[in-house]
């Protein structure tokens, strides 16, 4: 094997990446093609002898423009999708090039050291207990799984039960409490962990989507046995934070474990301006977040943080005779994450944090929040357009007119227009457009351009409806 084996293909890939990135901020933002077009372009019987690798790369690149959304582009406001910082993307290329199996230290002291350091930086950035342990997982879904596995271990250990050895059969019943507004990935993690969704006790939330701490205080005393409370720092629709200090106090009085879903909201901890919103978050026992959201590293990159590192370790660790494990002397990632073999996904996190520094992350977060307020300010002056909840972070919920159908049509019209992309949701039973600003590159001009497109679509639909009803 020589570099010459790789060079032509890597140069080709570089040229394709160059073309893609060069057009990213101008192109139609959504995906234009559907399954049919993509299958027609890509499907073929598996060939016997393979094909020219350069032609395969060209085939991929030829179809990305129509078949993929520009979700890394500055005018993509769907879901909560951060773009990629140039340094994080470049580091991610190196991760693929180096092809490290970052499961155990002996294979990659480099990856292990970067994850150890990035873990420490994250605890500093979030101002969370420095004794906490950190695992770099695929996303917030697996961060919940990891944290809640540690929680399951911890609360049952305190109840005299070793769940890792004896499983859940015959174990004391664990109650899990979460707000009605908890993200679906919390339910899924509970399913994976064998609790079943019937273990979940729902707490009402308020008009902004925050858990009602008064209702939690009423519910907890009625629950016998181990309790895990799941709170939220950043509602997926509104960006609202649960009252974390009150929830932490109530959970502590009851002897429970508090887990926080901070998929994007935990990054607010970097910002001085936003510090108050997450007051009390440091009192929790575990925290889940995504670096692929607000740190803007490429997919897939989540982070699981657990205050009690023994519970974390004991829930995750695995050992086998053929592995060269250091038993805590060095960092073996298998002790902190569900995966065994794994990508060195801590490296782009390290690179992004090193390049940005604390103030750079704060600036990224603050800029996105300012752009979200800009959306709300520009849209709310239009007659008939309503901003449904307080804009406290990077999320904006918008209604166009009184009928759900009009809001849904505006969303479809905006997606078809292609200037920007925003998705839909249902908020308190009514249709709403959901705007999430999570990309380092989104400028004031992007927001102006996008709100112009939204209002253009809205006005045109409103006029058509008015003309139709006057006929």
CA distances from 233 to 40, 80, 195, 281, 351 (A): 43, 14, 23, 8, 25
Residue 326 Cβ, how far from ligand PLP at the closest point, in Å?
Answer: 29
- The count of residues in the chain is 471
Comparison of 337 and 385: residue with beta carbon closer to ligand PLP? 337
Comparison of 258 and 453: residue with beta carbon closer to ligand PLP? 258
Residue 139 Cβ, how far from ligand PLP at the closest point, in Å?
Answer: 3
Which segment (25-33, 108-116, 260-268, 330-338) binds ligand PLP by CB under 6 A?
A: 260-268
Residue 298 makes contact with ligand PLP by CB under 6 A: no
- Distance between CA 111 and CA 334 in Å, rounded? 13
Among 83, 135, 139, 154, binds ligand PLP (CB under 6 A): 139
- x/- contact string, 399-438, with ligand PLP (CB under 6 A)? ----------------------------------------
Among 84, 108, 133, 141, binds ligand PLP (CB under 6 A): 141
Characterize the bridge pairing of strands 286-290 and 257-261.
Answer: parallel
Conformational region of residue 311, where left means phi above 0, alpha means psi within -120 to 50, and beta covers everything else: alpha
- Distance between CA 410 and CA 390 in Å, rounded? 21
Residue 31 Cβ, how far from ligand PLP at the closest point, in Å?
Answer: 18
- Distance between CA 132 and CA 113 in Å, rounded? 17
- Distance between CA 350 and CA 336 in Å, rounded? 17
**Among 237, 242, 236, which Cα is nearest to 215's?**
242
| Residue number, nearest CB to ligand PLP | 139
Residue 140 makes contact with ligand PLP by CB under 6 A: yes
**Among 300, 284, 291, 298, which Cα is nearest to 151's?**
284
- Distance between CA 61 and CA 67 in Å, rounded? 10
- Distance between CA 394 and CA 80 in Å, rounded? 9
Residue 231 Cβ, how far from ligand PLP at the closest point, in Å?
Answer: 11
First to last CA, the chain: 75
Which segment (134-142, 156-164, 169-177, 243-251) binds ligand PLP by CB under 6 A?
A: 134-142
Residue 209 makes contact with ligand PLP by CB under 6 A: no
- Distance between CA 461 and CA 94 in Å, rounded? 48
Helix axis angle for 86-98 and 346-380, nearest 10°, is 150
Residue 213 Cβ, how far from ligand PLP at the closest point, in Å?
Answer: 19
In 257-340, where do the E strands start and end? Answer: 257-261, 286-290, 302-306
Residue 192 Cβ, how far from ligand PLP at the closest point, in Å?
Answer: 12
- Contacts with ligand PLP in 67-106 (CB under 6 A)? 79-80
Residue 125 Cβ, how far from ligand PLP at the closest point, in Å?
Answer: 19
Among 148, 193, 236, 433, binds ligand PLP (CB under 6 A): 236
Residue 287 Cβ, how far from ligand PLP at the closest point, in Å?
Answer: 12
- x/- contact string, 300-339, with ligand PLP (CB under 6 A)? --x-------------------------------------
Residue 192 makes contact with ligand PLP by CB under 6 A: no
In 143-268, where do the E strands start and end? Answer: 175-179, 200-203, 227-232, 257-261
- Distance between CA 42 and CA 30 in Å, rounded? 19
Give me the residues paired with residue 261 across strands. 232, 288
Give me the residues paired with residue 133 across strands. 306
Which segment (145-153, 218-226, 257-265, 331-339) binds ligand PLP by CB under 6 A?
A: 257-265
Say how many residues touch ligand PLP, by CB under 6 A: 14
Comparison of 140 and 178: residue with beta carbon closer to ligand PLP? 140
Residue 132 Cβ, how far from ligand PLP at the closest point, in Å?
Answer: 19
Which segment (34-42, 127-135, 258-266, 361-369) binds ligand PLP by CB under 6 A?
A: 258-266
Token couple for 347: 């490296």
Comparison of 234 and 346: residue with beta carbon closer to ligand PLP? 234
Among 92, 115, 282, 290, binds ligand PLP (CB under 6 A): 290
Give me the residues paired with residue 233 across strands. 241
For tokens 């092809």, what's the residue? 99
Comparison of 92 and 314: residue with beta carbon closer to ligand PLP? 92
**Among 134, 73, 82, which Cα is nearest to 292's?**
82
Comparison of 179 and 451: residue with beta carbon closer to ligand PLP? 179
Token couple for 303: 């982070």
Comparison of 104 and 122: residue with beta carbon closer to ligand PLP? 122
- Distance between CA 410 and CA 108 in Å, rounded? 50
**Among 266, 225, 227, which Cα is nearest to 250's?**
227
Residue 241 Cβ, how far from ligand PLP at the closest point, in Å?
Answer: 11
Among 30, 78, 209, 234, binds ligand PLP (CB under 6 A): 234
Question: Could you list the residues that contact ligand PLP (CB under 6 A)?
Answer: 79-80, 139-141, 183, 185, 234, 236, 261, 263-264, 290, 302
């Amino acid at each position: 094997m020589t570099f010459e084996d790789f060079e032509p293909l890597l140069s080709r890939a570089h040229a394709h990446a160059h073309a893609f990135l060069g057009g990213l901020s101008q192109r139609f933002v959504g995906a234009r093609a559907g399954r049919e077009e993509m299958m027609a372009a890509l499907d073929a019987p598996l060939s016997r002898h393979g094909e020219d690798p350069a032609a395969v790369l060209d085939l991929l690149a030829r179809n990305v423009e129509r078949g993929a959304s520009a979700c890394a582009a500055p005018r993509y406001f769907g879901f909560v999708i951060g773009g990629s910082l140039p340094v994080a993307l470049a580091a991610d290329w190196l991760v693929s090039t180096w092809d490290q199996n970052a499961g155990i230290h002996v294979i990659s002291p480099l990856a292990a050291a970067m994850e150890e350091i990035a873990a420490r930086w994250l605890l500093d950035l979030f101002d969370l207990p420095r004794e906490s342990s950190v695992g770099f997982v695929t996303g917030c879904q697996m961060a919940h799984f990891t944290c809640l596995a540690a929680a399951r271990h911890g609360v049952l250990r305190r109840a005299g039960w070793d769940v890792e050895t004896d499983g859940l059969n015959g174990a004391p019943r664990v109650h899990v409490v979460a707000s009605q507004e908890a993200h679906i990935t919390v339910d899924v993690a509970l399913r994976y962990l064998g609790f079943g969704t019937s273990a979940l006790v729902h707490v009402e939330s308020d008009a902004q989507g925050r858990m009602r701490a008064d209702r939690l205080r009423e519910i907890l005393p009625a629950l016998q046995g181990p309790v895990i409370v799941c709170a939220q720092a950043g509602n997926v629709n509104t960006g609202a934070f649960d009252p974390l200090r009150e929830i932490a106090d109530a959970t502590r009085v009851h002897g429970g474990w508090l887990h926080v879903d901070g998929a994007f909201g935990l990054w607010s901890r970097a910002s001085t301006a936003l510090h108050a919103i997450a007051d009390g978050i440091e009192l929790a026992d575990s925290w889940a977040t995504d670096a692929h959201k607000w740190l803007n590293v490429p997919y897939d990159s989540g982070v699981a943080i657990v205050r009690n590192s023994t519970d974390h370790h004991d829930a995750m660790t695995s050992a086998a005779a053929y592995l060269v494990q250091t038993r805590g002397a060095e960092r073996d990632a298998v002790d902190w994450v569900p995966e065994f073999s794994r990508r060195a996904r801590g490296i782009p996190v390290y690179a992004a944090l090193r390049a940005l520094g604390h103030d750079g992350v704060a600036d990224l977060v603050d800029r996105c929040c300012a752009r979200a307020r800009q959306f709300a300010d520009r849209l709310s002056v239009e007659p008939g357009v309503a901003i449904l909840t307080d804009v406290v972070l990077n999320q904006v919920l918008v209604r166009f007119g009184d009928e759900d159908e009009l809001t849904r049509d505006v969303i479809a019209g905006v997606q078809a227009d292609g200037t920007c992309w925003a998705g839909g949701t249902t908020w308190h039973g009514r249709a709403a457009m959901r705007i999430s600003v999570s990309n380092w590159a989104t400028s004031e001009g992007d927001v102006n351009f996008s709100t112009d497109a939204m209002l253009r679509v809205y006005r045109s639909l409103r006029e058509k409806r008015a003309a139709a009803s006057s006929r």
